[in-house]
Amino acid sequence: MIEGVSFIGPGSGILACLGVEAAKLKEKTDGYFLTVGERGIVRIWCLESAVCVFEQQSSDVTINSENEESRRGFTATNMLPDDQGILCVTADQQFLFYSCTRTDEGTFQLNLYKRLIGYNDEILDLKFVGEDEQYLAVATNLEQVRVYDVASMSCSYVLAGHTEIVVCLDTCVSASGKTLVVTGSKDNTVRLWDMEKRSCIGTGKGHLGAIGCVAFSKKSKNFFVSGSSDRTIKVWTWDDTLIDAGGEVPLKAKAGVAAHDKDINSLSVSPNDGLVCSGSEDRTASIWKLPNLVSSVVLKGHKRGIWSVEFSPVEQCVITSSGDKTVKIWHVADGSCLKTFEGHTSSVLRASFLSRGTQFVSCGSDGLVKLWTIKTNECIATYDKHDGKEEEVLRGQELENAVSDSDYTRAIQLAFELRRPRRLLELFSQLCRKADPEDPIEKALVGLPKEGLRVLLEYIREWNTKPKFCHVAQFVLFRVLRSLPPTDILEIKGISELLEGLIPYSQRHFSRVDRLVRSTFLLDYTLARMSVVDPDVDAGTTKDSSMNNVEMAPAEPAQDTPEKPGRKRKSSKTTSQSSKKSSKKVKASSSAVVSVEA
């Protein structure tokens, strides 16, 4: 499916790279344009001949998911000014910049020279790549790994191959000097990547659940360990000669063991490659002897699941962090707890040694990062810059409290500040069904800045496109137009585009409502003719109409005789008989009139 089209101007450098002369192009009436679509491939077409003159051989967009709805391709394209190339936009908010060149063989070539990431979603894991740590590998809620240049923080390239979300990763530099990355995914596989080739060189299969953690060896750099939600640990090895040769590297599971009773969250290999430690949601950490994964000792003492484990770089100890808000340091030999650190107000998600094992840093779900000195058991620094999620949770609770207290003005303001259009729609829907003399919507609109009004109109425009929500959209739009003077509305940025999106749908909804109102008159007429609404009035109306249709001699109007109190009301049967008699008299009189005229 084609998602975007862009025409190429006559003086563009792309045509020169294609081998089209500008003078020759002016003589003809044809032109060139490029198209992009769901496959993530750029094509260039000749308008006159309708022939594709260039097609990109491989896509720079990850399209690995088997689900049609989650496939990601190009959604738009545009020509950059001053022959800077082509800009393509993907469905997952990436901006890809291409430059055009002509090779020595005379072929057209499209090169990706820059990639901007609009949104990363949740970051699940990240590691520095290479000895000089020039790049940063990041695992997000995607099937790919994004590799960023640390200096510019722009995405240099992506590692695509997994079919489900990448959950964890680790990096190392092999003995031959190659930079390797191992990734674990929800597709139950592990993959080994060569960062120089930017490609997958090996895939390991065997786990029956999502891979939750991976860890390279620290010394030999020729194996890695993986832990899965199937509660097993596996040791994977490969042949270094195959990596140096540049071929496919078969990954072999050298050992495996059912390690825990619940999911495995973290793994760490000791500095001498002799041990591996695993942390699980079953509240225990276990130390295993490599390479055969023989159980050495079990670390028990945490009251909640363990989120991370790590060996000390210098001492015979291991550090663990847990959901019970504590960090513990354990002796490797006998499994005794040496120290316990408390200070976080919620789960501690990660703990890592610093300063050659004399300090460690911990981070928790409370948004705090703490620096600790091991010798004194003292927290020497706390960094609370990651407080956005905590504030959002608190304000979300304040929003729910305002709804419970029927304080709709405050609830609308909070829902708007938190950018929750769905909650706003629910609040407006409730207010549509209430007759409140003190309109809370107009009160909430008083304090909105111009930017806030623009966002609100964008919400209204979106709701107005759906027949299910159009009544709510019109309800809110009426109050916006009534509470704000036209001069303030005209000062809103982009108001013309917003109105262009509102007017056509509003006209369509008005026409539909008008047709429905007109249709109700047919129902009224049908009910009236069926004597359902008011039988007495309808009978009189029917009688009058029948009398008017017959030409009759003028007669004195009959006087209604008031009913005496003692007389009983006639039955329906008597009434019908009298009506029949009267109709016969009408017929007789009408025939008499006709005979007289004759």
CB-based burial label for 531 (10 Å; 0-12, 13-18, 19+):
middle
Considering the domain architecture, whether residues 98 and 125 belong to the same structural domain is answered as no
Q: Which of 512, 527, 559 is the last residue of a domain?
A: 512
Walk across the sheet containing 32-37 and list its strands. Answer: 2-8, 32-37, 43-46, 51-55
374 neighbors 359 (Cβ within 8 angstroms) = yes
What mean pLDDT do residues 87-109 have? 83
Amino acid (1-letter code) at residue 258: A
State residue 57's pLDDT score: 82
Does some domain include residue 43? yes
Residue 110: is its pLDDT beyond 80?
yes
Are 56 and 178 contained in the same domain?
no
Among candidate residues 61, 81, 116, the one where a domain is terminated: 116
What is residue 21's three-state secondary structure? coil
Structure tokens at 124: 């699940």
What is the residue range of 172's domain? Answer: 120-258
Q: Which of 99-103, 170-174, 259-263, 587-591 has the lowest mean pLDDT?
A: 587-591
Which residue type, as a one-letter code, is found at position 251? Answer: L
Question: Of the residues 351, 386, 421, which one is the last residue of a structural domain?
Answer: 386
> Would you state the pLDDT for residue 397?
81
In what order do the strands lie in the sheet containing 306-311?
306-311, 317-322, 326-331, 337-342
pLDDT digits (tens, 9 = 90+) for 389-435: 666 677 778 888 888 888 878 888 888 777 888 888 888 888 877 76
Distance CA 264, CA 202 (A): 23
The reply to whether 148 falls in a domain is yes
**Does one domain contain both 485 and 471?**
yes
Identify whether the C-beta of residue 306 lies closer than 8 Å to the C-beta of residue 283: yes
> Which pLDDT score is estimated for 24?
56
Is 519 inside a domain boundary? no
Number of domain units in the chain: 4
Tell me: do 375 and 401 sit in the same domain: no
Q: Report if residue 571 sits inside a domain.
A: no
Band the pLDDT of 575: cuts 50, 70, 90: very low
Cross-strand partners of 140: 123
Are residues 270 and 357 located together in one domain of the fold?
Answer: yes
What value does the mean pLDDT take over residues 184-213?
92
Between CA 278 and CA 213 the distance in angstroms is 9
Residue 591, class by beta-carbon neighbours within 10 Å (0-12 exposed, 13-18 middle, 19+ buried)?
exposed
Q: Are residues 248 and 134 in the same domain?
A: yes
Strands of 244-316, DSSP E: 252-258, 264-269, 275-280, 284-289, 294-300, 306-311
Shared domain for 420 and 450, answered yes or no, is yes
What phi, psi does 416 have (nearest 5°)?
A: -75, -40
Cα–Cα distance between 35 and 7 in angstroms, integer? Answer: 9
Residue 255 bridge partners (DSSP): 235
Co-location of 421 and 489 in the same domain: yes
The pLDDT tens digits for 512-540 are 888 888 888 888 888 888 876 555 554 44
- Note whether residue 31 is domain-resident: yes
CA distance 492 to 452: 9
Which is more confident, 177 or 24? 177
For residue 553, is it within any domain?
no
CA 52 to chain centre: 35
Instruction: Give the domain CATH number at 179.
Output: 2.130.10.10
Asked if residue 130 and residue 212 are part of one domain, the reply reads yes
Q: Do 95 and 18 sit in the same domain of this protein?
A: yes
Residues 412 and 439 in one domain: yes
Nearest by Cα to 41 from 21, 19, 24, 63:
63
Helix (H, G, I), strand (E, B) or coil at 93: coil
pLDDT digits (tens, 9 = 90+) for 298-343: 999 999 999 999 999 999 999 999 999 999 999 999 999 999 999 9
> 96 and 87 in contact (C-beta within 8 Å)?
yes
The pLDDT assigned to 469 comes to: 85
Q: Is the pLDDT of residue 457 over 60?
A: yes
Q: Provide the pLDDT for residue 318.
A: 96
pLDDT of residue 585: 42
At 169, is the pLDDT very low, low, confident or very high (cuts 50, 70, 90)?
Answer: very high
- Specify the pLDDT at position 414: 83
Q: Which segment, 50-59, 90-99, 315-324, 405-414, is predicted with the most confidence on average? A: 315-324
| pLDDT tier, 25 (very low <50, low <70, confident <90, very high otherwise) | low
The rounded distance, in Å, linking the Cα atoms of 408 and 63 is: 44
Residues 172 and 212 in one domain: yes
pLDDT surpasses 60 at 66: no
Per-residue pLDDT at 592 exceeds 70: no
With cut-offs at 50, 70 and 90, classify the pLDDT of residue 480. confident
Residue 293 lies in a domain: no
* Residue 577 domain-assigned (yes or no): no
Q: What is the CATH number of the domain that holds 270?
A: 2.40.10.480
